[in-house]
Every structure is written in C-alpha cells, then in structure tokens.
Amino acid sequence: MTLALVFPGQGAQSPGFLHKLPQHDAVRATLAEASAALGFDVLTLDSDDGLRSTIAVQIGLTVAGVAVARALVRDGLVPQFCAGLSVGAYAAAVSCEALTFGDALHMVRKRAELMESAWPSGYGLTAVAGLSETQVETLAQAHARDGGEAVYVANVNAPRQIVVAGADAALEAFAARALAAGARKAQRLEVAVPSHCELLADAADALATWARDVPFSAPRSVYVDNRGGRPLHSADAIRADLATNMRYTVRWYDALTVMIESGASVLVEAPPGQVLTDIARGQYPEAAALAASTLPLERLVAIVRRRLGEVA
C-alpha cells in the first residue's frame, strides 16, 4: 500500500469547514478532545468572524486534518507518507505519531499568536501563477531596486505556482509587475501575516525556544518536511521543522516529488479545500489524488481502497 496523506495550510479555510467534517465517531472524538485541550468549543472557530483570526484558522486546520486522518485510520487506511503545507505540517506530525494531538494544538496556538503579534495587520501573501521561482526572484529584486518594499518567495507549490509574502502595498505593486511580465494570475490569499520569510525570524526563534521541552517521537510513517521537501526521521528534526517553518520558504513541490518518487500512488488531501489535490493532479497525473472535502467519507474510503488494490 502506498498512501500519502497531505494537509493544507492557511488560505484553504472557508466558513463552516469544521461543521462540514464527516459524521464519524473518530471525528466527533477528535472535536471533543480538541475542545477539552483548549478549553473552548472548537466548533466556534469556523465562523465568518472567527476566520479573521490567524489563531482560529491555524487551530481549525489542525483539528480538521487530524479528525479526518483518524477517521481514515479507523476505516483501515493508514498512510505511509504524511506531509503538510505550512501549518498543515502539525497535523502531519500527529498523523505519523511524532507529536501528540494535545501538544500539537498548544504549539499551533503559540505559533499563531507569535505570527499574529509580530505583524498584526498590513501584511499577507499573494499567489503568482505562470512564472518560475527564478522569474519571481528576478522581479522581486527589480522591485527592490526600484525602491519598493521587499517581497519574499514564501511557497514554491509547483514549478510555475509561486507564493510571495510582504506588506499590502508591496504585494499590490508586485502583482502588477508580475502580470506585466507574463504571469497568468496574481491573487491575494486569505492570509493576514507574511508567512515563510525572514519577517518571521524572531517569531520562529521564540517558538523554537518555547517548544524545546515539548515531547516528540520518531515518526511511525514517513514525515516529509516543508523546508527541504525531504523525509525527516528523528524527533528533534521534526521539532525543528515545525518550530521554524514559518520563516523559511515552503518547498511543497519538492515534498510532493519525494513522496511520488518514493512510491506514493494515492494521495488524499485532508479538509478543507483541494489546492494540494489540484497541484498533484497537474504535476503527477499518473497518481490518484483525492480531496476528502469533495467526497462522502464512505465513498472516499472505497475509492482509495480500490486504487491501492489496483496498484498492488
């Protein structure tokens, strides 16, 4: 069996996404466990007002990812690979048993608090489609030479799907520059902090210090990191990846490639959304990529079992 479970990052959220999770005992138990650990009802996180908070979004994504991962395991689908984009890496770490769910929730809350307090407003992310990383870097350098405020490559999601981070005005000016240079699209994302760049260096250092005594274990399945897009095998390496990934470029395409080249033939994306599914289908059409949020759980499980059987 060669199943990979992947977890989306901030920007995938939509109002009500926690309420749309499957009606499954494992999901209900996960929601109850999260509410007990955090001291409030986590189903309050996905309202329109709630989703304006980086803290609410990041906790909600972690809860959704772990809930569906547990439901799949309960139904006999244990992933051999786990990877998450940005904050999705926390659900991946829980799913491969490198970190307990409770510790992950507290670490995610601390992470989001640090990110939100570092840059409470006026910053974010813009996705640029149709240009390579090198082209985007070149445009960013030209933007800076012309006196513009710095923008940074935050995500390399695919060879021509790049996300940049920076201040609002800088992102707006850079989007116009990218479109003039031939980008197919430049779209602002629903993220209110400048993730995955040096603007979060101090916040990452603070989280690494805070997480020093959080217990981690060696993963039971293959955990693929954000920063290098490579498998990590030790507890300390996964702790460092989770604590510091907010300041480094997410190399999702590399992580996806490693999983495919290592034998992952079926990829399931945890809710919400299907951004990672679309990337996988576009880059590796020979793999079966499925978004859990688009299918009833029973049908998803049946399709995954059939696809894995076909591969075997």
What are the residue numbers of the active site?
A: 86, 196
Rounded to whole angstroms, the Cα distance separating 71 from 296 reads: 12
Write out the two tokens for 102: 């409770």
| Whole-Å CA distances, 48 to 36, 121, 166, 213 | 23, 18, 24, 35
Of the candidates 240, 241, 239, the residue with the CA atom closest to the CA atom of residue 229: 241
Q: Using CA atoms of 118, 123, 125, 126 in order, give the dihedral in degrees to the nearest 10.
A: -170
Rounded to whole angstroms, the Cα distance separating 77 from 296 reads: 15
Which residues, including other chains, have CB under 8 Å from residue 49's CB and lie 6 or more apart?
Answer: none
Rounded to whole angstroms, the Cα distance separating 186 from 119 reads: 22
Write out the two tokens for 150: 């710095």
For residue 202, give the amino acid letter. Answer: D
Which residues, including other chains, have CB under 8 Å from residue 265's CB and lie 6 or more apart?
Answer: 2, 3, 287, 288, 307, 308, 311
Rounded to whole angstroms, the Cα distance separating 304 from 72 reads: 10
Give burial (CB, 10 Å; 0-12/13-18/19+) of 90. buried
Radius of gyration of the chain (CA): 18
Rounded to whole angstroms, the Cα distance separating 132 from 74 reads: 41
Q: Is the dihedral of CA 133, 14, 40, 91 positive or negative?
A: negative
CB 46 within 8 A of CB 12: no
